[in-house]
């Protein structure tokens, strides 16, 4: 049964304004016969947590997930076990970790990022999977948003849908913006979809685009060498390898005098100019609700895909000053967080 959405609230402080956009999505999950996944007597259910990046990036997200489980009655190491694994932005790790989870006979897998979710789905058609990923329909993770089918359900992070908004924000900071570079992990389906959306949005806004493709961390530095003097700003698409190397990317961008736009706050905390995207701790709290339903007997394929309800705009003033940029006061007033 759907829960009513919380009331709209706004919090103001000297440097921070937080805004919450709350909508109610999703629907009731049909019951999954308990006999379909029998538990051994005395055996705690086990969750396989597959983070696409590193523990340093995902620790806050994991903490939000664990806290929500606790609120729902699942206490780590007492009533539920959690096996944490981190892909560190290396696609080959995801298949290895998924295979390990199968050997461990976990009861549900929680993944972050499209490549890790696809690897888990390829590894098993039986173990339920909850993914926090980009475009679950476009990348083939689920059949539809309303009826995912199979053993996967998803909390979509809507990265392609937000591409246009991110470019508009960049142009507010750079009114004379003419050419934007896009950094894409060509091996990540979601990164490719987001890049296509950003390219289309750039054309609509009258911007020229330079697309720089990478497949691994070693490709990042050469990509920046190729971008020198060719663009006014850099749009970084979402991919585990880019998230893992975000500080390196921002250092190189600063060295080439490129204003950067990113997908979530950890990039701005790591020296990026701006980020706009879903609030990931909130998404992982909601992932706790999904996992709770599955552990209590729901089929993942019957749990509708939900989309973000809370978005954050984060601006790094230290980076802006280093680039010699003046952030418009109207944009600062709309920011959810300003880093100084």
What pLDDT, in 10s, does the model give residues 176-205?
999 999 999 998 888 999 999 999 999 999
What pLDDT, in 10s, does the model give residues 56-107?
778 889 999 999 999 999 999 999 999 999 998 788 899 999 999 999 999 9
Give the pLDDT of residue 42: 59
Please check whether residue 240 is in contact with residue 113, taking contact to mean a CB–CB distance below 8 angstroms: yes
Please check whether residue 287 is in contact with residue 110, taking contact to mean a CB–CB distance below 8 angstroms: yes
Measured in degrees and rounded to the nearest 5, phi and psi for residue 77 equal 70, 0
d(CA 104, CA 46): 9
Measured in degrees and rounded to the nearest 5, phi and psi for residue 217 equal -60, -35
Residue in the block written with tokens 């570079």: 181
Beta carbons within 8 Å of 54's beta carbon, 6+ residues apart: 86, 88, 89, 244
Q: Dump the DSSP string for 41-110.
A: TTPPPEEEEEESS-HHHHHHHHHHHHHHHHHTT--BTTTBEEEEEE-TT-HHHHHHHHHHHHHHT-SEEE
| Sequence-separated contacts (24+) of 215-219 with Cβ below 8 Å | 215/185, 215/186, 215/187, 215/241, 216/90, 216/241, 217/89, 217/241, 217/244, 217/245, 217/248
Beta carbons within 8 Å of 222's beta carbon, 6+ residues apart: none
Q: What is the mean pLDDT of residues 273-290?
A: 96
Give the pLDDT of residue 135: 82
What pLDDT, in 10s, does the model give residues 234-257?
999 988 899 899 999 999 999 999
Q: Are strands 274-278 and 311-316 parallel, antiparallel or unpaired?
A: antiparallel
Residue count of the chain, please give it: 340
Name the strand (E) or helix (H) holding 316. strand 311-316
Q: What is the mean pLDDT of residues 150-179?
A: 92
Please check whether residue 126 is in contact with residue 102, taking contact to mean a CB–CB distance below 8 angstroms: no
Q: Is 24 helix (H, G, I), strand (E, B) or coil?
A: coil
* C-alpha closest to that of 110 among 135, 81, 131: 131
d(CA 162, CA 105): 37
What is the model's pTM? Answer: 0.80
Give the pLDDT of residue 7: 40
Q: What is the 3-state secondary structure (H, E, C) of 212-261?
A: EEECCHHHHHHHHHHHCCCCCEEEECCCHHHHHCHHHHHHHHHHCCCEEE
Q: What is the mean pLDDT of residues 303-332?
A: 96
Name the strand (E) or helix (H) holding 211. strand 208-214
Percent of all residues in the chain with a pLDDT value above 70, rounded to a whole number = 87
Q: What is the mean pLDDT of residues 154-171?
A: 89
Q: Which of 53-62, 127-136, 199-208, 305-314 is predicted least confidently? A: 53-62
Q: Is 7 helix (H, G, I), strand (E, B) or coil?
A: coil
Q: What is the mean pLDDT of residues 315-329?
A: 97
Higher pLDDT, 79 or 20: 79
């Amino acid at each position: 049964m759907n829960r009513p959405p919380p009331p709209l609230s706004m919090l103001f402080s000297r440097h921070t304004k937080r805004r919450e956009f709350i909508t109610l999505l999703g629907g009731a999950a049909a019951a999954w016969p308990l006999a379909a996944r029998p538990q051994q007597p005395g055996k705690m259910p086990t969750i396989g947590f597959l983070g696409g990046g590193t523990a340093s990036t995902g620790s806050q997200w994991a903490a939000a997930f664990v806290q929500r489980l606790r609120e729902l009655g699942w206490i780590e190491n007492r009533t539920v076990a959690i096996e944490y694994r981190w892909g560190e932005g290396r696609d080959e790790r995801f298949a290895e970790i998924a295979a390990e989870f199968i050997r461990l006979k976990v009861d549900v897998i929680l993944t972050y990022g499209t490549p890790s979710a696809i690897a888990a789905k390829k590894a098993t058609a039986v173990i339920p999977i909850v993914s926090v990923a980009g475009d679950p329909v476009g990348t083939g993770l689920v059949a539809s948003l309303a009826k995912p089918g199979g053993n996967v359900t998803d909390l979509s992070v809507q990265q392609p849908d937000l591409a246009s908004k991110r470019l508009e924000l960049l142009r507010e900071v750079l009114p004379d913006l003419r050419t934007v570079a896009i950094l894409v992990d060509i091996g990540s389906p979601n990164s490719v979809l987001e890049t296509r959306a950003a390219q289309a949005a750039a054309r609509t806004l009258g911007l020229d685009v330079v697309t720089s493709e990478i497949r691994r961390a070693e490709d990042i530095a050469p990509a920046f060498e190729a971008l020198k003097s060719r663009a006014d700003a850099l749009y970084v698409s979402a991919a585990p390898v880019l998230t893992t190397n975000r500080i390196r990317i921002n250092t190189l961008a600063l060295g080439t005098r490129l204003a950067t736009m990113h997908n979530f706050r950890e990039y701005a905390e790591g020296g990026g100019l701006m980020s706009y995207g879903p609030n990931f701790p909130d998404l992982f709290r909601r992932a706790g609700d999904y996992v709770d339903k599955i552990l209590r007997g729901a089929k993942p394929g019957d749990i509708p895909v939900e989309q973000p309800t809370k978005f954050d705009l984060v601006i790094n003033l230290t980076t802006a000053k280093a680039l010699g940029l003046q952030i418009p006061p109207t944009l600062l007033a709309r920011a959810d967080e300003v880093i100084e």
